[in-house]
Amino acid sequence: MSDVRYKHLMAVDNPDDLRRMTRGELKAYSEELRDYIVECCAVNPGHLGSSLGTVELTVALHYVYNTPEDRIVWDVGHQAYAHKIITERRDAFLRNRTRGGISGFPRIAESRYDAFGAGHASVSISAAFGMAKALEMQGSRNHVVAVIGDGALTGGLAFEGLNNAGASPKTDILVILNDNEMSIDKPSGALDRYLVRMSTSRWYNNLKNTLWRGLAVMPKLHSMVRTAGNAVKQGLLKNSNLFESLNFRYFGPIDGHNIDELIRTFEALKHIGGPKLLHVKTTKGKGYAPAEADPSVWHAPGRFDVATGERIKSNYQAARYQDVFGHTLLDLAREDERIVGITPAMPSGCSMNIVMREMPERCFDVGIAEGHAVTFSAGIAAAGGRPFCNIYSSFMQRAYDNVIHDVALQNLPVVLCLDRAGIVGEDGATHHGAFDLAYFGCVPNVAIAAPRNEWMLRQMMYTASKADYPTVIRYPRGVGEGVEWQGVAFEGVEVGRGERLKDGEDVAIVAVGTMANVALRASERSSHSVAVYDLRYAKPLDEALLREVGERFKRVITIEDGVIRGGVGEAVVARLSREGYTPHVKNLGIDDCFVEQGKPAELYADCGYDEEALLKSIDEMMR
């Protein structure tokens, strides 16, 4: 990146530098900032579209507010790349989302400017209100701003925050609704249509906003006008808008790419106390034509050519697990009219869009609302349906109670498909699916399936569709083993029955899911005689298989793509012990820690359960 081309960008190391710029310089800086994000993400992929849409908004926020003393809370963090670059991480952004580099999401431990960490949606309002209440109790006059997208606003937690904050009329908090009419995919539901109606009903909003901005500098009149304004509002507008009904003063919508308007509005709102919501209209992918034309694809496009917009495809031959899921669900739905698909705002991320294109009436995108997705699925099952609810493993953590109370306790035949189970890579600690084997392993009535390849995923989905109890199917991000699966006849698999993949004499490896493939490769390379077992099901465990292991082997290694504590390996040890077997067992998996970002191969090595680590464990056991 040349200093000449990025003259204004290189002049800003922190928000103080930004505040010394003229309005004209701010606009030039914004254009350079946008180009910098595009060029960096072209070679080091990340969440591009959302951050391009918030460049001017971010510049204006840091220009007006005295960060980090004033706090900005970003929802999720997909929209926070400009924030990171402005706040002392311009050069570090070149290594965004890499091992040892900065995180793709805000993190308190990373920067004093990151007021709150967020990798999952809808948390910003609750967190910001907590900060605002704490500052109020401390007598501080610093400001707190939450920036939340219209997609994240569909999450129930966002409304819990609005409801609670609206009940504290003296607590100063500004919520900025970044409305780009997109989540990762096109948003769905009544809230999206409501925001569109608000955006086109400007007559009342313009009148009110002009009045509030004019009175912002006259605080003594503020209370009287607010009381009078409420009376006028009730006379002019019989149905107050949603946010005002929650005691938030609503402003907007305004142009989120007009720096002058943004600065003018923020300056006025700083002098208005209490809960406020500013509705800002932005364009996802703004300023980069390919991203504007297809915002879903360019949410996280991978590597691409900046000049042509051509995405650089990976040279893999095997199918992605998510596509195996999508095509198999479509095949199942063709055979069984009871089958439906449910996803919380991730139709393209989990490939349920494959079914949506052919059977839109059989698929439901419920918005960013994982708990609702599970309980909605439970309702369908209770009425005779066969729901396949697909939620990323780390996002399923948000719906844990719904699974226990609404699905498992009632023993309903809901199929919970956990995409992105195990290590996911560059998204880091907020997105690794590290805990599902542990947190579902203790829940009664639930079967937990872990396919080692594409064919097995297809057959486990078929088996689950015929079950009369809940089934969890967990599979990783990325591509499979290249095993033939598409169009293959449904055979099913026996629930709770594992398989010996390779015989041996010295050491037994008991593997879960795709770790069976790692175990096979390591066993072929080992100088020792190593047997490999694929459990297939983490629950119920195959007792006959474990008895065979206990009777034949004095040395056992378990390996799973998840946490060790409370995981399958510990369950295997407990089962062997109950049967009276006491082999020397080593459990491989994720230790008691959060795993940072990096390429999956790097992280498997760091965590000690890649192929090399497994070979080392075999050698150590044989000493």
Question: Annotated active-site positions, please?
Answer: 284, 370, 398
Q: Give the CA distances from residue 274 to residues 47, 64, 167, 270, 348, in Å, rounded to whole numbers and listed in that order.
A: 33, 18, 10, 10, 39
Query: Which strands make up the sheet holding 415-418, listed edge to edge?
Result: 363-365, 339-343, 386-390, 415-418, 471-474, 447-449, 537-539
- Alpha helices (H) along 87-123: none
Q: State how far the Cα of 339 lies from the Cα of 385, in Å rounded to an integer.
A: 6
Task: Indicate the SS3 state at residue 409.
Answer: coil
**Cβ atoms of 415 and 342 closer than 8 Å:** no
Q: Give the CA distances from residue 364 to residues 291, 344, 373, 376, 410, in Å, rounded to whole numbers and listed in that order.
A: 26, 8, 9, 10, 22
507 phi and psi angles, rounded to 5 deg:
-135, 140
Number of H helices, E strands in the chain: 25, 17
334 phi and psi angles, rounded to 5 deg:
-65, -30
267: its two tokens: 């300056």
CA 298 to chain centre: 16
609 phi and psi angles, rounded to 5 deg:
-140, 35
Amino acid (one-letter) located at 125: I
Q: Give the CA distances from residue 157 to residues 48, 390, 556, in Å, rounded to whole numbers and listed in that order.
A: 25, 20, 44
**Cβ atoms of 85 and 104 closer than 8 Å:** no
